[in-house]
């Protein structure tokens, strides 16, 4: 059993302090949605959880070990990450990009095996990009490119998937398709962490919510316990009603005039 957690975490860029004294445990085998207003530290937290940002204080631990002390290949086999605004190399085709998700599983000699091929084919099918395999990534729409990046992360076959605003550039149908995919991966045993802007999508698909404001965690827990009218107004400054979603029964935020 692995556990991803932050203890007394402080993070920042240059002279700007973003997060101070943050404590958080990511529940294993759950779909965690990180929510909060812009510039509250959500993306900064995710970067620290995957070792792209070195803490100024405190520690991120994976299975009780300091993430900064682990080998890069080990981290890449455990933590799959999709950041915002990632750019593909010029001239690369979709299948080539998705295959790069297997680098952590390759030997020093770069041997490509049947398991690697199955992972790539399965990831492309899950992300709905199989028919784009021979297309140049630069010729795709924003939504298509986003699904290709998701396929590359899925091809890593990591137990943890961390995604920063993965629904960006996707139309509403593909947003829900992606969220259903993430929920299915959770059901299959993966641990999913996603920064989401849509509270109603977060409460419908995630089973654990982390609400942040001003670089701190305001509340964590099940959606029904976290997403209340009081918390939404405190975190987002939005007066609202929270009522049961008529389809899923999850909390649904209805803004007030």
Is 233 a domain residue?
yes
The model's pTM: 0.92
The predicted pLDDT at position 86 comes to: 86
Nearest to 38 by CA among 163, 223, 165, 206: 165
Is 214 a domain residue?
yes
Query: Which domain, by its residues, includes 211?
Result: 4-87+158-255
The predicted pLDDT at position 169 comes to: 85
Domains of the chain: total: 1
Return averaged pLDDT per consecutive 10 residues of the chain, 257 residues in all: 89 94 96 96 96 96 95 92 90 96 72 88 94 96 91 95 92 92 93 96 97 96 97 96 96 94
Is 205 a domain residue?
yes
Is 145 a domain residue?
no
Is 69 a domain residue?
yes
Tokens describing residue 8: 């007394």
The predicted pLDDT at position 118 comes to: 94
Is 117 a domain residue?
no
Is 110 a domain residue?
no
The predicted pLDDT at position 110 comes to: 64
Burial class (CB in 10 A: 0-12, 13-18, 19+), 203: buried
The predicted pLDDT at position 112 comes to: 80
Is 137 a domain residue?
no
The domain that holds 186 is classified in CATH as: 3.40.50.300
């Amino acid at each position: 059993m692995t556990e991803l957690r932050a203890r007394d975490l402080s993070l920042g860029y240059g002279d700007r302090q973003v997060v101070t004294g943050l404590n958080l445990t990511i529940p294993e085998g759950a779909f965690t949605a990180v929510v909060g207003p812009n510039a509250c530290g959500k993306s900064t937290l995710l970067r620290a959880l995957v070792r792209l940002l070195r803490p100024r204080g405190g520690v991120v631990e994976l299975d009780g070990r300091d993430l900064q002390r682990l080998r890069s290949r080990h981290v890449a086999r455990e933590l799959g990450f999709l950041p915002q605004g990632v750019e593909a190399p010029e001239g690369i085709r979709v299948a080539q990009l998705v295959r790069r998700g297997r680098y952590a599983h390759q030997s020093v000699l770069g041997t490509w095996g049947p398991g690697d091929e199955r992972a790539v084919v399965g990831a492309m099918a899950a992300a709905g990009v199989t028919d784009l395999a021979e297309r140049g990534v630069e010729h795709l729409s924003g939504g298509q490119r986003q699904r290709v990046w998701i396929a590359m992360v899925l091809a890593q076959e990591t137990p943890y998937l961390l995604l920063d605003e993965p629904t960006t550039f996707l139309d509403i149908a593909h947003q829900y398709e992606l969220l259903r995919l993430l929920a299915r991966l959770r059901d299959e045993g993966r641990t999913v962490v996603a920064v989401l802007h849509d509270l109603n999508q977060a409460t419908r698909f995630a089973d654990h919510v982390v609400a942040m404001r001003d670089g701190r965690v305001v509340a964590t827990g099940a959606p029904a316990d976290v997403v209340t009218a009081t918390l939404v107004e405190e975190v987002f400054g939005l007066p609202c009603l929270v009522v049961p979603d008529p389809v899923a029964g999850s909390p649904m935020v209805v803004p007030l005039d």
